[in-house]
């Protein structure tokens, strides 16, 4: 199940809005209290002191009491956003077992998109025409192979990946570094609308009215990685968010990362070339390479997490 914001009582909504609340902590609270709404009441009343370390419980309670939740409610209601928490059956199943799993996701659209085999296509905001062409070309083959494309909704390669998926009739998911009612970047309003209207999904771990902040984008990246069978880097400088996503995939999430080689001396491809040379990502020369790797990785992850592939 997932939740409309109207179904969540004030105490539970305050709990879900606590920054840094982890999935493991929320799971323990919900299990011991007997439900999400009961968990919020238990923390506020002090009953949860027996379930969590006293200092942690007091800190969560203090942060809950500082939350102004009216704006949280109306911003979610205004865009028909829904909420899925880590203890719900339809919480993304690849994400739930991972370290630093978010306690809650806010979403619009079809959440089942990310319970399917997904390839993350990520890369530079300041990309070249070559990068845009490659992102669209790889997205085409990926969605025609009955896989889904996810990315971070940003300018550049992310947008090219989403648009390529839509152009060829595929489903795509955008994981955002802001709340769902704060369109960022603002010029992507029509793109985000098309993603939802075509059967895709927008996801954020932040309440809908929350504006973007620099610290939110690395948090967004870990969700992109966690939802993916494979992370494909199209273009990236040596220091970039795309490489952070790829590194998370390999080192923390047990996923495969691949990179498209670019021209030697091109700043936009320097990160891809470096990672290929260093050997911790695979080289992606043909889209079929990525499809094959993603199908094999999804089968492996499905067995590990008892997921039935739809």
So what's the pLDDT on residue 309? 40
Question: Please, which residues bridge with residue 203 across strands?
Answer: 107, 175
Residues 244 and 292 in one domain: yes
The count of structural domains within the chain is 2
Q: Is residue 106 part of a domain?
A: no
User: Domain check: are 116 and 74 in the same one?
Assistant: no
Same domain assignment for residues 236 and 279: yes
| Same domain? 118 vs 45 | no
Whole-number pLDDT of residue 306: 62
In a domain, 221, yes or no: yes
Check whether residue 54 and residue 176 sit in a common domain.
no
Same domain, 39 and 187: no
Say yes or no: 189 and 69 in one domain.
Answer: no
Rounded CA-CA distance 238/272 in Å is 8
Decide if 87 is inside a domain.
Answer: no
Could you tell me if 68 and 162 lie in one domain?
no
Do 242 and 285 lie in a common domain?
yes
- CATH number, domain with residue 214: 3.40.50.450
Q: Among residues 66, 82, 98, which one ends one of the domains?
A: 82
Q: Residue 185, preceding bond cis, omega within 30 degrees? A: yes
Residues 34 and 123 in one domain: no
Residues 245 and 143 in one domain: yes
- pLDDT tens, 269-299? 999 999 999 999 999 999 999 999 999 999 9
pLDDT of residue 308: 42
pLDDT digit string, tens, across residues 101-115: 999 999 999 999 999
What is the SS3 assignment for 287?
Answer: helix
Q: For position 307, what pLDDT does the model report?
A: 46
Tens digits of residue pLDDT in 152-182: 999 999 999 999 999 999 999 999 999 999 9
Whole-number Å distance between alpha carbons of 195 and 172: 7
Q: Which domain holds residue 42?
A: 3-82
Average pLDDT, the chain: 94
Mapping DSSP onto H, E and C, the string for 35-98 reads: CHHHHHHHHHHCHHHHCCCHHHHHHHHHHHHCCCCHHHHHHHHHCCCEEEECCCCCCCCCCCCC
Total-model pTM:
0.95
| 52 and 141 co-located in one domain | no
The model's pLDDT over 23-77, given as tens digits with 9 standing for 90+, comes to 999 999 999 999 999 999 999 999 998 898 888 899 999 999 999 899 999 999 9
């Amino acid at each position: 199940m997932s939740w409309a914001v109207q179904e969540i009582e004030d105490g539970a909504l305050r709990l879900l809005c606590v920054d840094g609340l982890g999935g493991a902590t929320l799971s323990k609270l919900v299990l011991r209290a007997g439900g999400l709404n009961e968990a919020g009441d238990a923390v506020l009343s002090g009953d949860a002191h027996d379930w969590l370390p006293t200092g942690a419980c007091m800190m969560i309670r203090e942060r809950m009491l500082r939350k102004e939740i009216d704006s949280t409610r109306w911003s979610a209601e205004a865009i028909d956003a829904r909420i899925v928490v880590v203890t719900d059956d339809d919480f993304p199943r690849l994400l739930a077992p991972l370290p630093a799993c978010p306690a809650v996701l806010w979403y619009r659209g079809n959440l089942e998109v990310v319970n399917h085999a997904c390839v993350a296509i990520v890369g530079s905001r300041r990309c070249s025409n070559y990068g845009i062409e490659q992102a669209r070309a790889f997205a085409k083959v990926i969605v025609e192979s009955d896989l889904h494309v996810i990315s971070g909704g940003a300018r550049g390669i992310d947008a090219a990946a989403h648009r390529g998926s839509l152009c060829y009739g595929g489903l795509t998911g955008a994981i955002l570094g802001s709340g769902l009612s704060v369109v960022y970047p603002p010029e992507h309003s029509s793109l985000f609308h098309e993603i939802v209207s075509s059967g895709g999904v927008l996801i954020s771990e932040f309440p809908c009215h929350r504006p973007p902040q620099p610290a939110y984008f690395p948090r967004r990246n870990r969700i992109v990685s966690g939802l993916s069978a494979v992370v494909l880097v199209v273009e990236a400088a040596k220091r970039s968010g795309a490489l952070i996503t790829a590194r998370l995939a390999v080192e923390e999430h047990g996923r495969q990362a691949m990179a498209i080689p670019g021209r030697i001396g091109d700043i936009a491809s320097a990160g891809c070339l470096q990672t290929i040379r260093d050997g911790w990502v695979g080289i992606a020369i043909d889209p079929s390479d990525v499809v094959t790797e993603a199908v094999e990785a999804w089968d492996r992850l499905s067995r590990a997490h008892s997921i039935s592939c739809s």
